[in-house]
Amino acid sequence: MGTRFLFLGPPGAGKGTQAALLGQRLQVPTISTGRIFREAIADQTAMGKQIAQFVNAGLLVPDKLTNAIVEDRLKKKDAKKGFILDGYPRNQPQAKAFDAYLQKAHRPLDAVLYFKVDASAVIDRMGKRRICSQCGQTYNIVTQPPQVEGKCDRCSGPLVMRSDDQPDAIRRRLEVYEESTINLLQYYEKKGVMRVIAASLSVEEVTRQIDVICGDA
């Protein structure tokens, strides 16, 4: 079974859930650029301060900086056996830069898994999501509810629905995602490493698809 995978797909496709499950089974880290950014900002590292300047201005973190952060993370000891990247790369220039790094490091990808999902499934899932307004902890009122309704288990802060989890906002986010990543998906498809996951199915059914693909990788 391979140990180096990319998970791509729109918001609400279930990438994070499946990445965590597969990471546990393979004993490799799940790496999300969003999480790296948040931790670097919170720790006030040199890179974190650079990231904060863009985030606070409402701008995307430049590709060059994002690539450097990912490469730095993959050099850490826990990623030597393998890794699961969730949501990176986000565009074709990032993908090409990442390929160059992997080739230099002699660490080719085993597969790129694209989580294809219906808009209706995403709206249903994200409509059930709640966020702690104080610490940011995420819940699902059906599959991962808090111990006390409406309150965070970690800090007791009130749980709220994000404004971008409203149906109209979700549809727009999906449209933006598809428009911005079509070249990226075509890039990996031409390389012959992309596998499509029917992500509208249940967690268990999606997990089974991933196990088959990763077992063959």
Q: Which of 4, 73, 90, 125 is catalytic?
A: 90
Q: Which amino acid is at 165?
A: D
Q: Which of 4, 73, 125, 129 is catalytic?
A: 129
Q: Which of 4, 73, 130, 173 is catalytic?
A: 173
Q: What tokens appear for 20 in the block? A: 């965590």
Which residues face 132 on adjacent strands?
159
Check: CB of residue 197 under 8 Å from CB of residue 114: yes
Q: Which of 25, 49, 76, 162 is catalytic?
A: 162
Q: Which amino acid is at 128?
A: K
- φ, ψ of residue 118 to 5 degrees: the values are -75, 145
Check: CB of residue 198 under 8 Å from CB of residue 190: no
208 is catalytic: no
Cis peptide before 89 (omega within 30 of 0): yes
d(CA 68, CA 184): 19
Cβ neighbour number for residue 139 with a 10 Å cutoff: 19
15 is catalytic: yes
Fill in the DSSP letter of residue 148.
B
38 is catalytic: no
Q: Which of 4, 15, 73, 130 is catalytic?
A: 15
Closest among 10, 44, 31 to 200, alpha carbons compared: 10
129 is catalytic: yes
125 is catalytic: no
User: Which residues are known to be catalytic?
Assistant: 15, 90, 129, 162, 173
